[in-house]
Structure 1
Amino acid sequence: MDLQQMRYVLAVAETASFTRAAEQCHVVQSALSHQVARLEKELGARLFERTSRRVRLTTAGEAFLPAARQALDAAERARAEVAAATGEIRGRLAVGSIPTVAAVDLPAALQEYRLRYPHVRISLRTGSSERLVEQVRDGLLDAAFLGVQPGFRPQGVQDRELAHGEHVAVVAPGHPLAEEHEVGLDRLADEVFVDFADGSAARAQSDEAFAAAGLRREVAFEVSGVELMARMVRHGLGIALLPAAFAADLHDLRTVRVTNGPVRVERLVWTRFTPSPAASAFLALLDVGRP
């Protein structure tokens, strides 16, 4: 068994196709198929069910995949550590972020990082705060930017508070609230809202503010991204509550300060173990020391 065979198996699993896997790995299909077959013979089990229409993992293949990923990650980490010992940062940097991050200019930070460390492969994933914490804890991400309610402390990771800010009401230019400078939750409770999914950290910040005030509100539209949320508000289908620092960039919409409104804390999380050289360099660029 060798690392290249593991890479081939992962590529087939990800693409569900020997042809696409061969293209991804830049080898002819016959060579890739031969290496996978050799590995299956060595393991004494078939990793894939092959038909004329599809390729899918067997139970043995499902069991093989996590350990294969770990082995490839360990090999990449070993190469990165050797390179770092000679003064060169290599490897990969996987960053996660909520869509509404405002405490850090993330594109600018990643641009600066790429200029400093051109041999590091950078990837970025967006998602909910809860999912991002899981991915950092599981080693799928090196670091992630969260937006959570005050008092929330992620478990199983290192973390640091980056910013603390209030939400504002975001409304269409023609909305009756558009010319207001400040509004209370009691008045907002009569509005129809566009918000994130029920149970998410992004939604909980607003839900808890209304609950603390003894108020109920109607969330008619649940969305997963701020782009769609802004479009819904722009068409007058509802209003939204978003962090003030982020909402300031929505130039075609109006923002109104909310009395005793929701509060959001932005946090950076990273692995509780020793970060890779690439991750350590990213934390240093953000002025975050090693744990």
Structure 2
Amino acid sequence: MELQQLRYVVAVAETNSFTRAAERCHVVQSALSHQIARMERELGARLFERTSRRVRLTPAGAAFLPAARQCLDAAERAAAEVAAAVGEVRGRLAVGLIPTVSAVDVPAMLREFRRRHPHVRIGLRVGASEDLAEQVEQGTIDVAFLGLPTTARPRGVAVQELARDRLVAVVAPDHPLAGESAVDLRRLSSEVFVDLPAGTAGRAQSDQAFAAAGLDRDVAFEVTTADYITRLVGQDLCVAMLPAAFAPQLSGVVTLAIDDAPARVEYVVWNRFSPTPAATAFLSLIDIPHPHQPADDRAGDAAH
């Protein structure tokens, strides 16, 4: 069994096509098909069901795929470790972030990282804090920037606090509150809201604040990106609450302070056991020079 064969299997599984897989792997289709057939004979099982319309994994193929990916990741990690040992950072870097990250300028960090390490391939994933933390723990993401209520803290990963922030109210320019300098949760509770989906960490900070104040609110709109939150608010369909440090990036809306605003904490997290050379180099840009240090030993590190 060869690494190239594993790459072919993964490519077919991800594209559902031998033709597209061959294009991705820069080989002729006949060569790719021959190598996969050879592997199937070696394994004694078919990995793909082929029809004139589609290609899909068999149960044996579905069982084989995760291990194939792990083998390829291990091989790439080995090559990256060797490169790092001779002073060159290679491989891949997967960075996760919430839509409203503001404690660090991620694009600027990536620009500097790319300048220093041009051979690293970079992937960005935007998502919810709890999902990103889980992916870091599982090793599918190297580093993630999260935002959590003050009542929560990332588990199962190495973590460092970056900043603390409070939420502000966001309203349309012609909304009755737009001329106010500040508002409180009781006044906001009479408004129609847009927020992140129920059950997410980004939503929890607001839900907890209203519940603690003994107030109910109407969340009529649920979206997954800050951009769409702002667009709906701009149409005067609803109001929102977003981090104060993120507010300067907003346009077409008005922000105002909340007297009893909920707070949140931004963290950077990474795999607590085996950060890659690329992850280690990336973390050094935010003054985390020793990411191999156990997470529990870093719990008391000062926020930036």
TM range (shorter): over 0.9
Q: What one-letter code is carried by the residue in structure 1 that aligns with 2:94?
A: A
Number of equivalenced pairs:
291
**Structure 1 partner of 2:302:** none
Q: Which runs of 5+ in 2 are unaligned?
A: 294-304
- Distance in 2 between the 1:126 and 1:223 partners? 13
TM-score computed with the length of structure 2 as normaliser: 0.94
Q: What one-letter code is carried by the residue in structure 2 that aligns with 1:211?
A: A
**Structure 2 partner of 1:84:** 84
TM-score computed with the length of structure 1 as normaliser: 0.99
Identity level (%): 66
Displacement after TM superposition at 1:6 (Å): 0.4
Q: What one-letter code is carried by the residue in structure 2 that aligns with 1:261?
A: A
**Structure 1 partner of 2:19:** 19
CA deviations over 1:159-201 (Å, ceiling 9, x no partner): 1111100000000100011111110100000000011101111
> What is the SS of the residue equivalent to 2:249?
coil
- Distance in 1 between the 2:174 and 2:72 partners? 55
CA deviations over 1:55-110 (Å, ceiling 9, x no partner): 11111111111111111111001111111111111111110000110000000000
Residues 168-183 of structure 1 aligned to structure 2 (within 5 Å): 168-183=168-183
- Distance in 1 between the 2:270 and 2:187 partners? 40
Q: Which runs of 5+ in 1 are unaligned?
A: none
- Distance in 1 between the 2:162 and 2:242 partners? 17
Residues 102-251 of structure 1 aligned to structure 2 (within 5 Å): 102-251=102-251
- Distance in 2 between the 1:57 and 1:153 partners? 39
Displacement after TM superposition at 1:25 (Å): 0.6
- Distance in 1 between the 2:67 and 2:274 partners? 20
Displacement after TM superposition at 1:276 (Å): 1.1
- Distance in 2 between the 1:87 and 1:207 partners? 48
- Distance in 2 between the 1:262 and 1:152 partners? 13
**Structure 1 partner of 2:71:** 71
Q: What one-letter code is carried by the residue in structure 1 that aligns with 2:26?
A: H
Cα RMSD, aligned residues only = 0.8
Q: What one-letter code is carried by the residue in structure 2 that aligns with 1:281?
A: A
> What is the SS of the residue equivalent to 2:164?
strand
- Distance in 1 between the 2:138 and 2:274 partners? 14
> What is the SS of the residue equivalent to 1:245?
coil
**Structure 2 partner of 1:278:** 278
